[in-house]
Structure 1
Amino acid sequence: VNNYGFWEDKNYVLIRKDSDKDIAEKHNISIEDLSIKIKQWKDILLTEREKRSRPRLDDKVLTSWNALMLKGYADAYRVFNDPQFLAAAIKNANFIINKQLTADGSLNHSYKDGKSTINGYLEDYAATVDAFISLYEDTLDEQWLQTAKNLTDYAFDHFFDDNSKMFYFTSDKDASLVTRNIEYRDNVIPASNSIMAKNLFKLSHYFDNEAYYNTATTMLHNINPEIASYPPGFSNWLDLMLNYTNNYYEVAIVGDKALEKIQELNQSYIPNKLIVGSTNDNTLPLLENRYVEGETYIYVCVNKACKLPVKEVEKALTLIEK
């Protein structure tokens, strides 16, 4: 304690530098007696603390933050193959579907005390779509991919600005504001527009949707002039740019052992790829007419041009490396 180390309001934050043993020896008492005294002091402090108003507790559940966590679990499962991670991701995804998704296809932003409230922001849609795409790649359950597409289409209807070719942060269903903000600079989390652009890029491959692809490309072009001024503020955009400057692989796996092959493939780090697959006949553009009963084939494609199918992941990896 000194006359210059105040934290605020002439109070100190006291940090102990000695062990219990050192303190006991210094004051010529036993460790047991010191423990008793420490408990007495803490009881006195607790009694005084209880006289003060408790800090406010922020226990609301936000869709966007939960979606970020959901994607984290889905990605962790992909890397570590721990079923607990996948179970947590699916549980969280079902919460969003059952509690935050409304009858008209929109998302709510907040959930507290059993009530879903506040019309969703772009970050809610962008993060949820991103998470659901990752969950689809882990499970091949098309409900997640289709829901991602539905939410994307809703965002186009209610957030997209035809003039700037970017997405507003707020919906056209919200109360009118003097201006509607367009969030595009990445910060502590990626900007909602950068996440959305990456979503559109991926979904354009899944659904062979040229409008999605063109919108993602235009959004990236819109940002490009600013990137050089401060690259860390556009890191997620730069990640998307890499998908244009390098080959982007579409890996389609079709057959009874599709999930096993995906788990094996995920043991290799391949950031510039998406996975699409099915254990039976499927009408998704990258899977259509590729199912052969009793076999599992891996198709490695670039820009819709697919190489001859292979059965082994090891061979598929050589096609990607080339």
Structure 2
Amino acid sequence: MEEKQKHTNRLINEKSPYLLVNWYPWGEEAFKISKEENKPIFLSVGYSTCHWCHVMEHESFENDKVADVMNKFYINIKVDREENPGVDKFYMTFVQLTSGGGGWPMSVFLTPDLQPFFGGTYFPPDDRYGRPGFKSLLTRIAQIWMATPDKLINSGKSTVAQLKAYAEAKPEASSSETVDPWSLAEKVYDYFISSFDTKYGGFGKSPKFPTPVQLVFLFDYYGYHHKSEQDEKALDMVLYTLDKIACGGIHDHIGSGFHRYSTDQKWHVPHFEKMLYDQAQLLSAYSRAYQITKKESYAIVAKDIVHYVSRDLQHKDGAFYAAEDADSLPNDQATKKLEGAFCVWEAQEIIDIIGEEDAKIVFYFYGVENQGNVDPTQDPHGELENKNVLMQIHSEQETADKFDLTKDKVDHILKQAKEKLWKHRLEQRPKPHRDDKILTSWNGLMISGLSQAGSILNEPSFIELAKKTATFIHSNMYNGETGILLRSFREGPSNIEGFLDDYSYLIQGLLDLYEATFDEQWIKWAYSLQEKQNEQFYDENNHGYFNVNSEDKSILVRMKEEQDGAEPSGNAISVRNLIRLSTLLQKESSRYNKIAQDTIESFYTELSKFPFAMPALVSSFLLVAKGVKEVVIIGSDNSKVDDFITTVNQEFAPNLLLVRLDATQTQNKNDVKFLCEQNSVFQDLIQKQDKDRQAVQAYICENFTCGLPISDIDVLKSKIIPTSTSKE
């Protein structure tokens, strides 16, 4: 009992809800005790809304017999992968290389020196089908450790040495002569063409993820040299996919926002958790789709996403929480959580809530069936039996034609039905658990999404949300004296310093926020963060950025991430940030361009072999090759300036950067604005404008050279979008 008590209550003060159990957090205290008591470490990595993490927790970690073995023979550490992605990345790489797969929960056994010697993912509590259960595994490894610890220690050392050699390998010197960004883009495009689902949209079969990183690449591919048949096909794939996702069950038609992924090919039955990073990236994608097509349906979906996050994920002072769980109690009397319980419907339930006549409309529109519309193969645990996942099967016009109604009448019925169903959900069903930690990186993505949507859709309230988010991070998760970002906030800031994606995503968000507000404080902060990122993460020897900073000695090997996952790689976003900043900050142009180019070159080998795994890096490579097209608008006639800005925001060019200057900025020599201090081109343009400050003119600038002033909006519009299909 004394032994058990000695190792409990270590995580009560941790910020993540997943960590509010009696284990050790990742840190020196656990490492020290492991060495002193000569016990191996059992490391469990998961996250708050992870279904199988909860399963293993209930089956094993809350089992007295299992807990006794763990506490007697191991020092046990739990890590939230979203709070500490550096730990997750390193040990997940080990698990993937040694087992051929990965996932969460991740279960890894370490020596007291943190070297991994065995790992896997979910383990059932008991032996099953000839495979050892978790209790047997714990016992066997403990026996080996006590009998022959050197065997496990040497295995761990060998593994770490191999990972270190892999991570520190220099790029092939000869590869730089053969890698062309446009050729890489063609390969990625061809890959997406070959894997595109022409019937349901998206790529591959099932399970299906929204993959906004891939959609962004296809937008860029289209935008750099559109108008050809091939480039139009790239756009068609994106728009068709966005249409299908918006209609699918992955879209919460009653509660707004998007679920994590679809378990089937048709986007019908989702895994019901909702992640902030999906909302942020899909917000950008739907806004971009509206910008290109001007179709109101895309604007409606973008606004729906903002409605969801501002209602359900927003902290009272700004910034956004991480996620909502897939599982919830079906009613107040229930004791067992079921996946999707908050979202799914029985047919009779809908009739009781909205009435039989309106239900006919809803059933036809959303594909509701009396016995449920979920394929049993998509419901292995029987949790969705007789349930309906709403999915738009027919259009408003088709529904109107079916019931001999006007489209306006159908719209009215559907709107009222959704309001009644949402009210029922709120009043009669317990809400899913909300992971209420605030992550810097995901909020950086949200700042980008809100800034872009606000500018494109002309929704100032969205931009205000972005400003509140940036202000929250600056006030609560940033040390102005040291320049250090913190990773997370929950009931106060955590003590975990930011990782590469925290810096790169936030810098990107601040640059997007500047283009939405033209407030130079966001550029100044982005510049400071970029300098700190370079200092803490850049590899001066082999180039590229590590995902953890140089001060974190608990990570035995600093890894670099070039491949995209649910989010773009930090290196890809960093390259893009450097190029944008180098355009704005002339004094840093040469240095930042070199870091960007060297970062790209450091991944030439990987880019040559499988560029389709890193579309964000290929997109950034295209930006390096093409260069930024800077539109500078000058003048103090705010009404006309706004007309110019609106015109620019209506046009899509992937390398566009919008700047607003005002001649009054340099009127007082003691009040020179930041951009003019950093960029002589801006100073020259303002001086030219000085004689007539009311005049509004635009300049197209590339490579710090600007064309003639443009005072006609139509001419400006024609200059933004190229008429040539040339890539040069």
Give a deviation string over 1:252-298, Cα, whole Å, max 9, x none: 11111344422221111122211122233351414213222222221
Q: Taking CA–CA contacts closer than 8 Å with sequence separation of 6 or more, which of the two structures ends up with the larger relative contact order?
A: 2
Q: Distance in 2 between matches of 1:14 and 1:129?
A: 42
Q: How does 1:144-223 map onto structure 2 within 5 Å?
A: 144-208=522-586, 209-223=589-603
CA distance in 2, matches of 1:92, 1:68: 11
CA shift in 2, pair 1:6/1:67, >3 Å? closer
Separation (CA, whole Å) in 2 of partners of 1:83 and 1:202: 24
- Matches of 1:121 and 1:242, distance apart in 2: 25
* Alignment coverage as a number of residue pairs: 286
Other-structure match for 1:71: 448
Task: Calculate the aligned-residue CA RMSD, in Å.
Answer: 2.7
Instruction: Output the CA distance in 1 between the equivalents of 2:377 and 2:474.
Output: 52
User: In 1, are the aligned partners of 2:545 and 2:599 still within 8 Å (CA)?
Assistant: no
Aligned to 1:268: 651
Match of 2:507 in 1: 129
Give the equivalent residue in structure 2 for 1:317.
717
Q: Equivalent of 2:437, from 42, 60, 71?
A: 60
| 1:43-92 deviation per Cα after TM superposition (whole angstroms, max 9, x unaligned) | xxx9xxx9xxx997632111101111111101111210111211111111
State the distance in 2 between where 1:224 and 1:138 align: 34
Q: Is the 8 A contact 1:108 1:118 kept in 2?
A: yes
Instruction: Output the amino acid matched with 1:61.
Output: I
Contact 2:576 2:623 in 1 (8 A): no
* Structure 1 segments unaligned to the other structure (5+ residues): 19-45
* 1:135 and 1:144 in contact (8 A); partners too: yes
The change in CA–CA distance for 1:126 and 1:244 in structure 2 (over 3 A counts) is closer
The aligned residue for residue 287 of structure 1 is 682
TM-aligned CA deviation for residue 17 of structure 1 = 6.5
Which letter maps to 1:319? K
Secondary structure in 2 aligned to 1:232?
helix
Structure 2: runs of 5 or more not aligned: 1-375, 389-427, 666-672, 724-728
Distance in 2 separating the partners of 1:17 and 1:152: 50
Q: What does residue 246 of structure 1 align with?
A: 626
Letter of the structure 1 residue corresponding to residue 683 of structure 2: E
Q: Distance in 2 between matches of 1:296 and 1:7?
A: 61
CA distance in 1, matches of 2:445, 2:377: 40
Amino acid of the structure 2 residue aligned with 1:230: F
Report the AA paired with residue 685 of structure 2.
R
Judged with a 3 Å threshold, the aligned counterparts in structure 2 of structure 1 residues 262 and 179 are, in CA distance, closer, same or farther, namely: same
Contact 1:277 1:287 in 2 (8 A): no
- Which amino acid is 2:659 matched to? V
State the TM-score, normalized to the length of structure 2.
0.37
Distance 2:377 2:581 in 1: 56
Provide closer, same or farther for how the CA distance between residues 55 and 262 of structure 1 changes in structure 2, counting only shifts above 3 A: closer
Cα distance change of structure 1 residues 113 and 317 upon mapping to structure 2, 3 Å threshold: same
Indicate the residue corresponding to 2:704 in structure 1.
Answer: 304
Deviations 1:215-271 (A, max 9, x none): 111111222332243333211111112224435311111111344422221111122
Query: Residue by residue, what CA displacement relative to the aligned partner does 1:160-183 show, whole Å, maximum 9, x if unpaired?
Result: 111111111111232343211111
Counterpart for residue 399 of structure 2? none
In the alignment, is residue 15 of structure 1 matched against residue 359 of structure 2?
A: no
Contact 2:499 2:548 in 1 (8 A): yes
Structure-1-length-normalised TM-score: 0.81
User: Shift in Å at residue 193 of structure 1?
Assistant: 0.9
Q: Distance in 1 between matches of 2:513 and 2:552?
A: 30
| Aligned sequence identity (%) | 29
Q: Using the alignment, how far apart are the partners of 2:378 and 2:559 within structure 1?
A: 41
Partner in structure 1 of residue 321 of structure 2: none
Structure 1: distance between partners of 2:581 and 2:523: 9
Q: 2:458 is matched with which residue: 75, 81, 87?
A: 81
| Paired position in structure 2 for 1:27 | none
**Are the aligned partners of 2:486 and 2:493 in contact in 1 as well (CA < 8 Å)?**
no
The equivalent residue for 1:119 is 497
